[in-house]
Amino acid sequence: MTTGGTAAYQVHIETFGCQMNEYDTELVRSLLIARGFAFTDDRERADVVLMNTCAIRENAHNRVYGHLAALRPIKKQRNLVVGVLGCMAQNLKQELMDQASVVDVLVGPDAYRKLPDLLTQAIQAQERGLTEKGLAVDLSEYETYEDILPQRAEGLNAWIAIMRGCDNFCTFCVVPYTRGRERSRDPEGILREAEHLAAHGHKQVTLLGQNVNSYRHDGWDFARLITAVADVPGIARVRFTSPHPKDFPPALLDAVADHPKICKHIHLPLQSGNDRILNLMGRTYSRKEYLALVEEIRRRNERIALTTDIICGFPSEAEEEFLDTYRTVREVGYHQVFGFVYSERKNTIAGRKYPDDVPDAVKSDRVTRLVDMQKPIALQKNRDLVGSAVEVLVEGDAKKSSTQWMGHTGQNVTVVWDKHGAKAGLGDLAQIRITHASVTTLYGYEI
Ligand code: 5AD
Ligand code: SF4
């Protein structure tokens, strides 16, 4: 690819963290391609290495520092511009630039429109033997990148960010500081994007927001939006993440329970099953209220799978309080539980107010106990499906064998089956009779 007779600069981008970051990487690709940059999977050939980073926990930071250190020797040998994007750039700002001298450009999640200019300046400075650092970390109350069509990777699934930012200020969470105030995108733009995706062979759309339940735009709420997206011809499945348990609207529950194209899966982060800790976390619901919501979900449609996030070792969490969480997780019976050790984040309310006083070994032990308790529950849920038929989107080759297909049920459980004798191909919905099950995977044959 060339621009104005000169070879385009090659950019290599690595993405860390959540699906919102995956989506932002697609936005960044689009912004840079429009300005004549090209992309390469080969870091060795790149003129620019970008890292789209996550700040949610300490280990996310450490991985990025590791990758930056690996770039130092390369940079000594040749011209290379290094850019850090996303939440860690926003959270650490100048401090990151000072700590990691290898970084030339830092751009936060609301400032990606400035990236092409900042990269061009840094590249041109390097070509003259100079160093020019670029920093853009302004947060915006309005930026939704409405006019940018993300440059997506091929595949069946596509993400659509329906909103940006977060106003919840859970005391442990850095996101309100890294992604700024909550703003919802225009539903018309979202629907246009969904139609475009359907026309380009994407069968599944995942709607993303920090708290999708607070989506509001000109009289539209999230239930109306997800129903409209699910009604777009050509879209076979719609998923979403994440709702907040404090304000789960009945209309959304109806949509999930009844709309044939909305997957029967709700990720409902509990975080803790102890009321004192929930209160310190600023979650604004009690254990009892959460359990009432679970009951209501199951009353509406018992097939809806629930998954959750749990933080272990929040400041001052006592063993007995952790056991409340443990018992609540067991009582709900989730399909999947994501357990995290509490990680104190700079700028957050908990970081400022509550000493990080639970020892690391205790935090990890609590996560391990949760995971160990969860395994037989997941196994039992999968075993319950043996003998029955499930609907699966054919997504690609199985990891272990190209003679087998892999896909997911609407409840988001992985299914593997033989291609031999199978009629459905990539992107189709297949009916699979389940013959056996493990903790993570269902196996069967197409009927
Ligand atoms: N420490 C540990 N886990 C955290 N999460 C968010 N912030 C922190 C933190 N400071 C977890 C929550 C959230 C998930 C995306 O990450 O469980 O739901
Ligand atoms: Fe995503 Fe949160 Fe990480 Fe930001 S901090 S990249 S929003 S997981």
User: CA quadruple 99, 103, 109, 114: dihedral positive or negative?
Assistant: positive
Q: How far is CA 445 from CA 153, 238, 418, 420, 428, in A?
A: 29, 25, 6, 9, 15
Q: What is the pLDDT of residue 200?
A: 92
List, for residues 107-150, the tens digit of each pLDDT value. Answer: 999 999 999 999 999 999 999 999 999 999 999 999 999 999 99
As a whole number of angstroms, the distance between CA 315 and CA 31 comes to 41
Q: Which amino acid is at 322?
A: F
Q: Is the CB of 20 under 6 A from ligand 2?
A: yes
As a whole number of angstroms, the distance between CA 87 and CA 64 comes to 12
- Tokens 């380009």 belong to which residue? 200
Residue 6's pLDDT band, with cuts at 50, 70 and 90, is low
**CA 159, 160, 162, 163: dihedral to nearest 10 degrees?**
60
Ligand 2 pocket test: pick from 87, 107, 340 the residue with the most ligand atoms within 8 Å of its Cβ. Answer: 87
List, for residues 178-189, the tens digit of each pLDDT value. Answer: 999 999 999 999
Count of all residues that appear for the chain in the document: 447
DSSP string, 5-60: TEEPPEEEEEE-S-HHHHHHHHHHHHHHHTTT-EE-S-GGG-SEEEEEE--SSHHH
Nearest CA to ligand 1 atom 9: 343
pLDDT at position 2 over 60: no
List, for residues 229-258, the tens digit of each pLDDT value. Answer: 999 999 999 999 999 999 899 999 999 999
53 Cα: distance to centroid of ligand 2 (angstroms) = 8
- Tokens 């099950």 belong to which residue? 437
Q: Give helix 222-230 / helix 187-199 axis angle, nearest 10°.
A: 20
List, for residues 66-118, the tens digit of each pLDDT value. Answer: 999 999 999 999 999 999 999 999 999 998 988 888 999 999 999 999 999 99
Partners of 82 in beta bridges: 49
CATH class of domain segment(s) 389-446: mainly beta
Ligand 1 pocket test: pick from 20, 56, 348 the residue with the most ligand atoms within 8 Å of its Cβ. Answer: 56
Domain with CATH 3.30.750.210 in the chain: 155-263
pLDDT at position 5 over 50: no
210 Cα: distance to centroid of ligand 1 (angstroms) = 12
As a whole number of angstroms, the distance between CA 24 and CA 52 comes to 8
Summarize the confidence of residues 279-306 as an average pLDDT: 98
Domain with CATH 2.40.50.140 in the chain: 389-446
Question: Helices (H), strands (E): how many in the chain?
Answer: 14, 23
Q: Are 61 and 22 in contact (CB under 8 A)?
A: no
CATH class of domain segment(s) 10-136: alpha beta
List, for residues 369-416, the tens digit of each pLDDT value. Answer: 999 999 999 999 999 999 999 999 999 999 999 999 999 999 999 999
Residue 299 CB neighbour total at 10 angstroms: 10
Which has the closest alpha carbon to 190: 237, 243, 146, 242? Answer: 146
Question: Is 131 buried (19+), middle (13-18) or exposed (0-12) by CB count in 10 A?
Answer: exposed
Q: What is the pLDDT of residue 1?
A: 41
55 Cα: distance to centroid of ligand 2 (angstroms) = 6
Q: What fold characterizes domain 293-383?
A: Transcription Regulator spoIIAA (3.30.750)
Q: How far is CA 236 from CA 249, 316, 425, in A?
A: 24, 46, 14
Q: Is the CB of 342 under 6 A from ligand 1?
A: yes
Ligand 2 atom nearest to 210, measured from its CA:
7
**Phi, psi angles (nearest 5°) of residue 138:** -75, 135
Q: What fold characterizes domain 155-263?
A: Transcription Regulator spoIIAA (3.30.750)
User: Percent of the chain, pLDDT > 90?
Assistant: 94
Summarize the confidence of residues 14-35 as an average pLDDT: 96
